[in-house]
């Protein structure tokens, strides 16, 4: 039959497609700097000890496999909100917040976007330029108009703060402003504390709705509290924020698809109304979320020792990333590069926006078997003490 003959073959995803190309490469010196997934110094995925201990407890508890509620595992939802907002947050204490478990961070963003499409009709979402590629598509597929605000300054590989403020001020009052809470993807450039205060003030003046994408808590600086600085500042300043959380990177639970979406409200009654509509939205989308990842995260965060173990491990991951940044710059200099690579160590989190052109990126793949996204973003986690010198030589070769 000709039923599907009109369907066109689509392109690979710009990020996940890099792994497809990497897997096809047979060179022993190939390096994958594409997908933002942590690897240890042996380039292996890292299963946290805290996760292994939690899994043992879950196994020994002989749990069943019944459905979770539409909103997910309650103990996880509460733990996720407490981790982001803090133990003594008044919205949590007064139940002026609704949190639903989602299919990881992507699912949190999609549920949020679908909710805005229904209840903020015609309101435009503003995302940073550049941002995680999926942001634009998630809003577009949810029928939420999406535009960009200036964010990155290519001339110094830093923040275009003036441009960001100007664009946020120029957006129609009450727009949706998406902010990366920490470890901006793809640039690795975060506002300073002072700049966050100004951004908060401008969003308040314009009565914008602020949606935080919080995909790397603990992973950026090594401190979950430091990484929550912007989120907690905005709540302090009175913003009733939306919050999308991913537990993929900071708990190493990528494939378990564990995330959360929270909305702060004026009252417990309003929070309950919002939750009722979130349930109506989720039910026909995926009905209810998978329980395993929620059980692992809530087992860890409800246990002092496991939480302490997690904190030390997320700091270990963050510190290794920071070490690789320093090491890459050292070898670039050692191998004769005279360019300014200070942005590699100034930037924070999983990614570095190198400034490499698409043509230089193509050469790294074809001549040196080094794979990264064409916008010049590298996932630092793909760098190890064994391949960092080879990488530095390759980057120097294509940039000299």
Task: Provide the binding-site residues for ligand PGU, judged by CB under 6 A.
Answer: 15, 35-36, 104-106, 132, 180, 185, 213, 215, 246, 248, 254, 259
Q: C-beta of 123: minimal distance to ligand PGU in Å?
A: 21
Structure-token pair, residue 264: 């702060």
Cβ–Cβ contacts within 10 Å for residue 347, how many?
21
Tell me whether residue 154 or residue 255 sits nearer to ligand PGU (CB atom): 255
The contacts of residue 259 (CB under 8 Å, 6+ apart) are 101, 102, 103, 104, 105, 106, 107, 108, 244, 245, 246, 247, 248
Catalytic annotation, pick one of 53, 190, 196, 213: 213
Q: C-beta of 180: minimal distance to ligand PGU in Å?
A: 6
Q: C-beta of 89: minimal distance to ligand PGU in Å?
A: 22
Q: Tell me if residue 213 is catalytic.
A: yes
Cβ–Cβ contacts within 10 Å for residue 285, how many?
13
Q: Tell me if residue 132 is catalytic.
A: yes
Q: Which CA distances in Å does 267 have to 5, 71, 76, 212, 280? A: 53, 19, 22, 20, 20
Tell me whether residue 213 or residue 313 sits nearer to ligand PGU (CB atom): 213
Q: C-beta of 115: minimal distance to ligand PGU in Å?
A: 17
Tell me whether residue 157 or residue 182 sits nearer to ligand PGU (CB atom): 182
Tell me whether residue 35 or residue 278 sits nearer to ligand PGU (CB atom): 35
Structure-token pair, residue 343: 């942005």
Q: Provide the terminal-to-terminal Cα distance of the chain, rounded to the nearest Å.
A: 55
Asked whether the beta carbons of 174 and 167 are under 8 A apart, the reply is no
Instruction: Give which of 120, 114, 105 is closest to 139, Cα–Cα.
Output: 114
Q: C-beta of 135: minimal distance to ligand PGU in Å?
A: 7
Structure-token pair, residue 239: 């913003």
Asked whether the beta carbons of 12 and 356 are under 8 A apart, the reply is no
Instruction: Give which of 381, 375, 106 is closest to 260, Cα–Cα.
Output: 106
Please name every residue paired with 259 in a beta bridge, in sequence order, or none if there are none: 102, 246
Tell me whether residue 106 or residue 327 sits nearer to ligand PGU (CB atom): 106
Q: Which CA distances in Å does 396 have to 34, 78, 102, 122, 377? A: 19, 48, 42, 48, 16
Buried b (16+ CB within 10 A) or exposed e, 184-215: bbbbbbbbeeeebeebbebbeebebbbbbbbb
Tell me whether residue 117 or residue 128 sits nearer to ligand PGU (CB atom): 128
Active-site residue set: 132, 213, 249
């Amino acid at each position: 039959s000709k039923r599907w003959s009109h369907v066109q073959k689509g392109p690979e995803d710009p990020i996940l497609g890099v792994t497809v190309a990497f897997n096809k490469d047979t060179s022993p010196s190939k390096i994958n700097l594409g997908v933002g997934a942590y690897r240890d110094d042996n380039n292996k995925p890292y299963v946290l000890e805290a996760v292994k201990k939690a899994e043992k407890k879950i196994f020994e508890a002989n749990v069943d496999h019944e459905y979770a509620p539409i909103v997910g595992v309650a103990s996880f939802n509460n733990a996720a909100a407490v981790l982001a907002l803090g133990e003594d947050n008044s919205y949590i204490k007064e139940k002026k917040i609704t949190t639903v478990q989602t299919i990881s961070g992507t699912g949190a963003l999609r549920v949020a976007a679908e909710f805005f499409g229904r209840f903020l009709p015609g309101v435009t979402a503003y995302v940073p330029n550049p941002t995680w590629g999926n942001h634009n598509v998630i809003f577009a597929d949810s029928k939420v108009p999406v535009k960009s605000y200036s964010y990155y300054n290519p001339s110094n590989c830093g923040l275009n703060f003036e441009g960001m403020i100007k664009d946020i001020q120029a957006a129609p009052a009450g727009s949706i402003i998406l902010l990366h809470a920490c470890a901006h993807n793809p640039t690795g450039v975060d506002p300073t504390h002072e700049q966050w205060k100004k951004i908060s003030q401008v969003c308040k003046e314009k009565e914008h709705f602020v949606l935080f994408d919080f995909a790397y808590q603990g992973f950026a600086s090594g401190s979950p509290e430091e990484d929550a600085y912007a989120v907690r500042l905005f709540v302090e300043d009175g913003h009733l924020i939306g919050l999308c959380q991913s537990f993929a990177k900071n708990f190493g639970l990528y494939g378990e698809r564990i995330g959360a979406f929270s909305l702060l409200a004026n009252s417990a009654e309003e929070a309950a109304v919002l939750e009722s509509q979130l349930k109506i939205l989720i039910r026909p989308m995926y009905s209810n979320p998978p329980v395993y990842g929620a059980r692992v995260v809530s087992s860890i965060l409800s246990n002092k020792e496991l939480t302490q173990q997690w904190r030390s491990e997320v700091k270990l991951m963050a510190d290794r990333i920071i070490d690789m940044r320093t090491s890459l710059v050292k070898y670039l200099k050692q191998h004769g590069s005279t360019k300014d690579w200070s942005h590699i160590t100034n930037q924070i989190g999983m990614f570095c926006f190198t400034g490499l052109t698409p043509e230089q990126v193509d050469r790294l793949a074809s001549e040196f078997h080094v794979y990264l996204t064409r916008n010049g973003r590298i996932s630092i986690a793909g760098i190890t003490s064994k391949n960092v010198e080879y990488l530095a030589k390759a980057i120097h070769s294509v940039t000299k």
